[in-house]
Amino acid sequence: MPRAATRLLKTDTLIEIDHVTFGYDERRRILNDVNLRFARGKVTAVLGGSGCGKTTLLRLIGGVHGVDAGRVVFDGEVVDVHDRDQLYRLRRRLGMLFQFGALFTDLSVYDNVAFPLREMTDLPESLIRDIVLMKLNAVGLRGAAPLKISEVSGGMARRIALARAIALDPELIMYDEPFAGLDLISMGVAAKLIRTLNDITGATSLVISHDVPECMAISDWVVLMATGGRIVAQGTPAELMASTEPEVRQFVRGEPDGPVKFHYPAVEISDDFGLGSGR
Protein backbone atom coordinates (compact mmCIF):
# COMPACT_ATOMS: atom_id res chain seq x y z
CA MET A 1 0.00 0.00 0.00
CA PRO A 2 1.45 3.44 -0.86
CA ARG A 3 2.60 5.41 2.16
CA ALA A 4 0.27 8.30 1.32
CA ALA A 5 -2.71 5.97 1.54
CA THR A 6 -1.87 5.06 5.14
CA ARG A 7 -1.54 8.65 6.43
CA LEU A 8 -4.40 10.09 8.43
CA LEU A 9 -5.01 13.49 9.97
CA LYS A 10 -3.30 13.93 13.34
CA THR A 11 -5.58 14.55 16.30
CA ASP A 12 -5.39 14.53 20.10
CA THR A 13 -5.53 10.75 19.82
CA LEU A 14 -2.10 9.12 19.63
CA ILE A 15 -3.29 5.50 19.24
CA GLU A 16 -6.55 4.35 17.71
CA ILE A 17 -7.82 0.77 17.74
CA ASP A 18 -10.39 0.85 14.94
CA HIS A 19 -12.81 -2.10 14.71
CA VAL A 20 -9.97 -4.54 15.41
CA THR A 21 -10.53 -8.28 15.39
CA PHE A 22 -7.67 -10.67 16.14
CA GLY A 23 -7.06 -14.28 17.12
CA TYR A 24 -3.93 -16.40 17.36
CA ASP A 25 -5.78 -19.16 15.58
CA GLU A 26 -9.17 -19.69 13.94
CA ARG A 27 -10.71 -21.41 16.95
CA ARG A 28 -10.66 -18.52 19.42
CA ARG A 29 -10.92 -14.79 18.96
CA ILE A 30 -8.90 -12.73 21.42
CA LEU A 31 -10.26 -9.36 20.29
CA ASN A 32 -13.58 -8.94 18.55
CA ASP A 33 -14.43 -5.64 16.83
CA VAL A 34 -12.66 -3.54 19.46
CA ASN A 35 -12.70 0.27 19.28
CA LEU A 36 -10.44 2.31 21.57
CA ARG A 37 -8.65 5.65 21.53
CA PHE A 38 -5.64 6.54 23.66
CA ALA A 39 -5.19 10.27 24.22
CA ARG A 40 -1.86 12.04 23.86
CA GLY A 41 -0.08 12.94 27.06
CA LYS A 42 -2.43 10.94 29.26
CA VAL A 43 -2.11 7.81 31.40
CA THR A 44 -4.65 5.23 30.23
CA ALA A 45 -5.08 1.98 32.13
CA VAL A 46 -6.53 -1.12 30.49
CA LEU A 47 -7.84 -3.41 33.21
CA GLY A 48 -9.19 -6.92 32.99
CA GLY A 49 -8.67 -10.50 34.06
CA SER A 50 -6.04 -12.81 32.62
CA GLY A 51 -6.64 -13.83 29.01
CA CYS A 52 -8.96 -10.99 28.05
CA GLY A 53 -6.59 -9.58 25.42
CA LYS A 54 -4.79 -6.77 27.27
CA THR A 55 -1.25 -7.78 26.31
CA THR A 56 -2.43 -8.63 22.80
CA LEU A 57 -3.35 -4.96 22.40
CA LEU A 58 0.27 -3.99 23.07
CA ARG A 59 1.53 -6.54 20.54
CA LEU A 60 -0.77 -5.15 17.87
CA ILE A 61 0.28 -1.57 18.59
CA GLY A 62 3.94 -2.58 18.37
CA GLY A 63 3.37 -4.46 15.13
CA VAL A 64 4.33 -7.85 16.55
CA HIS A 65 1.16 -9.25 14.99
CA GLY A 66 -1.10 -7.97 12.27
CA VAL A 67 -4.84 -7.59 12.80
CA ASP A 68 -7.32 -9.98 11.18
CA ALA A 69 -9.70 -7.10 10.56
CA GLY A 70 -9.78 -3.38 11.28
CA ARG A 71 -6.71 -1.24 11.77
CA VAL A 72 -4.28 0.07 14.38
CA VAL A 73 -3.39 3.75 13.90
CA PHE A 74 -0.23 5.21 15.47
CA ASP A 75 -0.10 9.01 15.36
CA GLY A 76 -2.13 9.19 12.17
CA GLU A 77 -0.38 6.29 10.44
CA VAL A 78 -1.89 2.85 9.92
CA VAL A 79 0.47 0.20 11.30
CA ASP A 80 1.52 -2.21 8.54
CA VAL A 81 3.30 -5.32 9.82
CA HIS A 82 4.62 -6.00 6.31
CA ASP A 83 6.45 -2.67 6.15
CA ARG A 84 9.69 -3.25 8.06
CA ASP A 85 10.96 0.30 7.60
CA GLN A 86 7.75 1.70 9.02
CA LEU A 87 7.83 -0.68 12.00
CA TYR A 88 11.40 0.25 12.90
CA ARG A 89 10.55 3.94 12.62
CA LEU A 90 7.44 3.65 14.77
CA ARG A 91 9.09 1.41 17.35
CA ARG A 92 11.81 4.02 17.76
CA ARG A 93 9.06 6.24 19.19
CA LEU A 94 7.82 3.83 21.84
CA GLY A 95 9.20 2.29 25.01
CA MET A 96 8.10 -1.03 26.45
CA LEU A 97 8.18 -2.24 30.04
CA PHE A 98 7.76 -6.00 29.79
CA GLN A 99 5.80 -7.92 32.38
CA PHE A 100 8.82 -9.35 34.18
CA GLY A 101 11.37 -6.77 33.10
CA ALA A 102 13.09 -8.89 30.42
CA LEU A 103 16.49 -7.57 31.50
CA PHE A 104 19.68 -9.05 30.04
CA THR A 105 21.06 -11.04 32.96
CA ASP A 106 24.59 -11.18 31.56
CA LEU A 107 24.80 -7.37 31.40
CA SER A 108 25.20 -4.90 34.24
CA VAL A 109 22.48 -2.48 35.28
CA TYR A 110 24.31 0.26 33.37
CA ASP A 111 24.68 -1.79 30.19
CA ASN A 112 21.01 -2.81 30.25
CA VAL A 113 19.92 0.83 30.12
CA ALA A 114 22.63 1.71 27.60
CA PHE A 115 21.59 -1.12 25.26
CA PRO A 116 18.86 0.71 23.26
CA LEU A 117 21.04 3.81 22.99
CA ARG A 118 23.90 1.81 21.54
CA GLU A 119 21.64 -0.14 19.19
CA MET A 120 19.42 2.68 17.95
CA THR A 121 21.67 5.76 17.94
CA ASP A 122 25.15 6.89 16.91
CA LEU A 123 25.74 8.80 20.12
CA PRO A 124 29.28 8.83 21.56
CA GLU A 125 29.85 6.71 24.64
CA SER A 126 30.41 9.80 26.78
CA LEU A 127 26.92 11.09 25.99
CA ILE A 128 25.40 7.63 26.42
CA ARG A 129 26.94 7.55 29.90
CA ASP A 130 25.27 10.83 30.84
CA ILE A 131 21.88 9.68 29.53
CA VAL A 132 22.09 6.32 31.31
CA LEU A 133 22.96 7.93 34.63
CA MET A 134 20.14 10.46 34.23
CA LYS A 135 17.60 7.73 33.49
CA LEU A 136 18.78 5.63 36.42
CA ASN A 137 18.64 8.71 38.64
CA ALA A 138 15.05 9.30 37.52
CA VAL A 139 14.09 5.88 38.91
CA GLY A 140 16.27 6.27 42.01
CA LEU A 141 18.94 3.76 41.02
CA ARG A 142 21.95 5.75 39.80
CA GLY A 143 24.04 4.16 42.54
CA ALA A 144 23.14 0.69 41.29
CA ALA A 145 24.67 1.24 37.83
CA PRO A 146 27.65 -1.13 38.28
CA LEU A 147 25.63 -3.97 39.82
CA LYS A 148 24.78 -7.23 38.13
CA ILE A 149 21.11 -8.04 37.57
CA SER A 150 21.48 -10.99 39.95
CA GLU A 151 22.40 -8.51 42.69
CA VAL A 152 19.21 -6.44 42.58
CA SER A 153 15.76 -7.11 44.02
CA GLY A 154 12.60 -7.68 42.02
CA GLY A 155 11.38 -4.15 42.65
CA MET A 156 14.74 -2.70 41.63
CA ALA A 157 14.75 -4.83 38.46
CA ARG A 158 11.38 -3.38 37.48
CA ARG A 159 12.72 0.15 37.92
CA ILE A 160 15.82 -0.69 35.88
CA ALA A 161 13.56 -1.98 33.12
CA LEU A 162 11.64 1.28 33.30
CA ALA A 163 14.87 3.28 32.96
CA ARG A 164 15.68 1.25 29.85
CA ALA A 165 12.17 1.79 28.46
CA ILE A 166 12.57 5.58 28.69
CA ALA A 167 16.19 5.69 27.51
CA LEU A 168 15.23 6.96 24.05
CA ASP A 169 12.66 9.49 25.38
CA PRO A 170 9.72 7.70 23.72
CA GLU A 171 6.43 9.41 22.91
CA LEU A 172 4.51 6.29 23.94
CA ILE A 173 5.40 4.13 26.94
CA MET A 174 3.60 0.79 27.24
CA TYR A 175 3.58 -1.01 30.58
CA ASP A 176 2.66 -4.70 30.66
CA GLU A 177 1.60 -5.62 34.22
CA PRO A 178 4.07 -3.22 35.89
CA PHE A 179 2.86 -4.10 39.39
CA ALA A 180 2.90 -7.90 39.09
CA GLY A 181 4.92 -9.64 41.81
CA LEU A 182 5.84 -6.45 43.67
CA ASP A 183 5.47 -5.82 47.39
CA LEU A 184 3.25 -2.95 48.51
CA ILE A 185 6.10 -0.44 48.84
CA SER A 186 7.62 -1.33 45.46
CA MET A 187 4.16 -1.21 43.93
CA GLY A 188 3.59 2.29 45.26
CA VAL A 189 7.01 3.41 44.00
CA ALA A 190 6.32 1.98 40.52
CA ALA A 191 2.91 3.65 40.33
CA LYS A 192 4.33 7.02 41.37
CA LEU A 193 7.13 6.69 38.79
CA ILE A 194 4.67 6.00 35.96
CA ARG A 195 2.64 9.09 36.82
CA THR A 196 5.67 11.33 37.42
CA LEU A 197 7.49 10.30 34.24
CA ASN A 198 4.34 10.83 32.20
CA ASP A 199 3.86 14.33 33.56
CA ILE A 200 7.51 15.37 33.26
CA THR A 201 8.16 14.02 29.77
CA GLY A 202 4.73 14.66 28.25
CA ALA A 203 4.66 11.08 26.99
CA THR A 204 1.54 9.00 26.48
CA SER A 205 1.35 6.05 28.87
CA LEU A 206 -0.62 2.85 28.35
CA VAL A 207 -0.78 0.65 31.46
CA ILE A 208 -1.96 -2.95 31.13
CA SER A 209 -2.87 -4.36 34.52
CA HIS A 210 -5.37 -6.08 36.78
CA ASP A 211 -4.33 -4.10 39.87
CA VAL A 212 -7.26 -1.78 40.46
CA PRO A 213 -6.12 0.53 43.31
CA GLU A 214 -2.80 1.48 41.71
CA CYS A 215 -4.31 2.13 38.29
CA MET A 216 -7.19 4.13 39.67
CA ALA A 217 -4.73 6.32 41.58
CA ILE A 218 -2.54 7.29 38.62
CA SER A 219 -4.73 7.08 35.51
CA ASP A 220 -6.57 9.77 33.59
CA TRP A 221 -8.75 7.22 31.78
CA VAL A 222 -9.59 3.59 32.48
CA VAL A 223 -10.78 0.85 30.12
CA LEU A 224 -12.22 -2.40 31.48
CA MET A 225 -12.00 -5.47 29.24
CA ALA A 226 -13.54 -8.91 29.58
CA THR A 227 -12.83 -12.31 28.05
CA GLY A 228 -13.18 -12.28 24.29
CA GLY A 229 -11.78 -8.79 23.95
CA ARG A 230 -15.07 -7.21 24.94
CA ILE A 231 -14.98 -3.63 26.25
CA VAL A 232 -17.15 -3.62 29.35
CA ALA A 233 -16.76 0.04 30.30
CA GLN A 234 -14.47 3.03 30.05
CA GLY A 235 -14.27 6.41 31.75
CA THR A 236 -12.46 8.30 34.46
CA PRO A 237 -11.36 6.37 37.56
CA ALA A 238 -14.11 8.06 39.57
CA GLU A 239 -16.76 7.05 37.05
CA LEU A 240 -15.74 3.39 37.07
CA MET A 241 -15.47 3.23 40.84
CA ALA A 242 -18.97 4.70 41.15
CA SER A 243 -20.49 2.41 38.49
CA THR A 244 -23.46 0.27 39.47
CA GLU A 245 -23.13 -1.97 36.39
CA PRO A 246 -22.70 -5.48 37.88
CA GLU A 247 -19.65 -6.55 35.85
CA VAL A 248 -17.81 -3.29 36.49
CA ARG A 249 -18.71 -3.29 40.16
CA GLN A 250 -17.54 -6.88 40.62
CA PHE A 251 -14.13 -6.22 39.06
CA VAL A 252 -13.25 -2.88 40.66
CA ARG A 253 -14.40 -4.05 44.09
CA GLY A 254 -12.93 -7.55 43.81
CA GLU A 255 -16.20 -9.28 44.62
CA PRO A 256 -16.07 -13.10 44.25
CA ASP A 257 -19.67 -13.44 43.08
CA GLY A 258 -21.11 -11.76 40.02
CA PRO A 259 -21.26 -11.91 36.21
CA VAL A 260 -17.57 -12.84 35.92
CA LYS A 261 -17.43 -16.59 36.45
CA PHE A 262 -14.62 -18.58 38.05
CA HIS A 263 -14.72 -21.41 35.47
CA TYR A 264 -13.57 -21.01 31.87
CA PRO A 265 -16.42 -22.07 29.50
CA ALA A 266 -16.50 -25.88 29.14
CA VAL A 267 -18.86 -28.78 28.57
CA GLU A 268 -20.55 -30.31 31.58
CA ILE A 269 -18.04 -32.12 33.80
CA SER A 270 -20.19 -35.27 33.63
CA ASP A 271 -19.61 -35.36 29.86
CA ASP A 272 -15.84 -35.09 30.27
CA PHE A 273 -15.85 -38.09 32.62
CA GLY A 274 -18.25 -40.16 30.52
CA LEU A 275 -21.07 -39.77 33.01
CA GLY A 276 -23.53 -38.03 30.71
CA SER A 277 -27.18 -39.02 30.41
CA GLY A 278 -27.73 -42.54 29.18
CA ARG A 279 -24.42 -43.88 30.47
> What's the pLDDT at 11?
67
* Whole-number Å distance between alpha carbons of 110 and 91: 22
pLDDT at residue number 177: 84
Q: How confident is the model at residue 262 (pLDDT cuts 50, 70, 90)?
A: very low
State the pLDDT at residue 124.
93
Q: Percent of the chain at pLDDT above 70?
A: 87
Nearest to 172 by CA among 272, 58, 5: 58
Q: Summarize pLDDT for 126-181 with one digit per residue, the tens.
A: 999 999 999 899 888 889 999 998 898 878 888 888 888 888 888 999 988 888 77
Lowest-pLDDT range of 4-8, 18-22, 42-46, 192-196: 4-8
pLDDT at residue number 3: 46
The angle subtended at Cα 125 by Cα 104 and Cα 196, nearest 5°, is: 65
What is the per-residue pLDDT for 201? 83
**Nearest residue to 89 (alpha-carbon basis) of 11, 6, 161:** 6
Q: Is the pLDDT of residue 71 over 90?
A: yes
Indicate if the pLDDT at residue 2 is higher than 80. no
The CATH number that domain 1-93+171-179+203-279 falls under is 3.40.50.300
Distance (Å, rounded) from C-alpha 177 to C-alpha 125? 32
- Average pLDDT score over residue span 248-266: 62
| pLDDT at residue 1, as a whole number | 43
Is 271 in a helix, a strand, or coil? helix
Mean pLDDT of the chain: 83
Q: What are phi and psi of 33, to 5 degrees?
A: 55, 55
- Please report, for residues 30, 98, 127, 228, 234, the alpha-carbon distance to residue 225 in angstroms, rounded to integers and kept in the order given: 11, 20, 42, 8, 9
Kindly report, residue by residue over 72-123, the tens digit of the pLDDT. Answer: 999 888 999 999 999 888 888 888 888 766 888 888 999 999 998 998 888 9
Lowest-pLDDT range of 9-13, 60-64, 138-142: 9-13
pLDDT value of residue 277: 56
Position 227 pLDDT exceeds 80: no
3-state SS class at 263: coil
Taking the domains of the chain in order of start, what are their residue ranges? 1-93+171-179+203-279
Tell me which long-range contacts 186-191 makes (C-beta under 8 A, separation of at least 24).
186/153, 186/154, 186/155, 186/158, 187/211, 187/214, 188/214, 189/140, 189/155, 189/159, 190/155, 190/158, 190/159, 190/162, 190/214, 191/217, 191/218
